Amino acid sequence: MESLAPYAAHNSTSRGRRYRETAPTHRSEFQRDRDRIIHSAAFRRLEYKTQVFVNHEGDLYRTRLTHSIEVAQIARSIARALRLNEDLTEAIALAHDLGHTPFGHAGQDALNDCMRDYGGFEHNLQSLRVVDELEEKYAEFRGLNLTFESREGILKHCSPAKAADLGDIGRRFLDKGHPSLEAQLTNLADEIAYNSHDVDDGLRSGLISTESLSRIQLFDDQYQEVKRLYPDLNERRAIHEVVRRMINRQAVDLIETSLSALRRHDPVDIDQVRAADEALIGFSSEMHQQNLELKRFLRHELYRHYRVLRMTTKAARVIGALFEAFLADTMLLPPEAAQHVRELEKISGSDGRARAVADYIAGMTDRFAITEHERLFDPRQLT
Ligand code: MG
């Protein structure tokens, strides 16, 4: 690990785990975190959770699992270029969406509505909850007992009210501090990944077109270039060529802009990164603007396309109905989930009861949620 920059996350300066453990023999602490994430049940479930398109809509679309792997790939490349900790970066990237509900953002908004009187539902907080509490695998502790640095990276956003209850991991949201550079870059690698792959999936689905995307500079610069270099290339290959160039442009911009910020601030260690007056990983202002333009386009033209909205409002109704049914009658829950409800209810009454129901629903894959809905509401289903 000699090649790591001084401001990277180092094993030796880690703030450690919540429960003390002996150091791993042939791995770093952050490798161990990454490995625990890969072996978790929540990670496997990402395969059947929606990114934009509901899982059964087509085999070629991104799911939360392939999205997380793409984020890890982009984030690791950037980390290596900046001499940051690749293992920590990979751990954060693979875990960043573990708390996502079924049916993407529509599912999360629906569950947040359901939980309005019980403390709300935030998927970033839920990702932390998954690794801290909900995964039950190890003999000695609840959760995956990850390092502070992985947990800090997973908790990307958090409302100040919630941050106050989280102890050391919530501090930076109250003090206006920053997380590690590895966490900062993974957050932006997430944006690079979804902006680019949603263009790809959006075009494949036919819901957006290259003509409408030509209004968007980040797309059009590359599209014109590809058409000029390869005028006879078929459409599918041309789109892939454009998307990979978009990813590269953004990654290169991020690396170069961040390197100059790091040179300017010259932090001696990770704690100076955390205390800096601004985030040190970022795009140039021009790229930032281009990114916003693309995001706005995708929001209007893809995420709010009537065919996407039909699917997502249907999904939101499934979540709402499941929540209502389980909260009203927890006898309908399978034994393990019912046990979880009893435990949380004992600790914090009706809030705990609702939280446990939300945990159960958030953990579902798209297809499991649909099947549970059928089992509960379709009178022809007798089991
Ligand atoms: Mg993501």
Among residues 129, 182, 235, the alpha carbon closest in space to that of 14 is found at: 182
- Collect residues with CB below 5 Å from ion ligand 1: 97, 190
Rounded to the nearest 5 percent, the helix, strand and coil shares of the chain are 70, 0, 30
178-212 tens-digit pLDDT: 999 999 999 999 999 999 999 999 998 899 999 99
Tell me the C-alpha distance between 142 and 36, whole Å. 13
62-119 tens-digit pLDDT: 889 999 999 999 999 999 999 999 999 999 999 999 999 998 888 999 999 999 999 9
Among residues 190, 101, 98, 186, the alpha carbon closest in space to that of 149 is found at: 186
* pLDDT score for 57: 67
CA atoms 207, 211, 214, 220: torsion sign:
positive
Which residue, chain included where needed, has tokens 């945990």?
Answer: 359
CA 268 to ligand 1 center in whole angstroms: 30
Among residues 47, 39, 49, 38, the alpha carbon closest in space to that of 364 is found at: 49
239: left (phi over 0), alpha (psi -120 to 50) or beta: alpha
Q: What is the dihedral of CA 218, 219, 224, 226, to 10 degrees?
A: 110
What amino acid occupies position 377?
Answer: F
The set of residues, in sequence order, having a beta carbon less than 8 Å from that of 337 and lying 6+ positions away, is 356, 360
CA 96 to ligand 1 center in whole angstroms: 6
CA 306 to ligand 1 center in whole angstroms: 23
- SS3 per residue for 284-303: CHHHHHHHHHHHHHHHHHHH
Of 272 and 312, more confident: 272
Q: What predicted TM-score, i.e. pTM, was given to this entire model?
A: 0.95
Tell me the C-alpha distance between 40 and 131, whole Å. 9
Question: In this predicted structure, which of 57-61, 132-136, 146-150 has the lowest mean pLDDT?
Answer: 57-61
- Domains of the chain, each with CATH number or no CATH: 29-308 (1.10.3210.10)
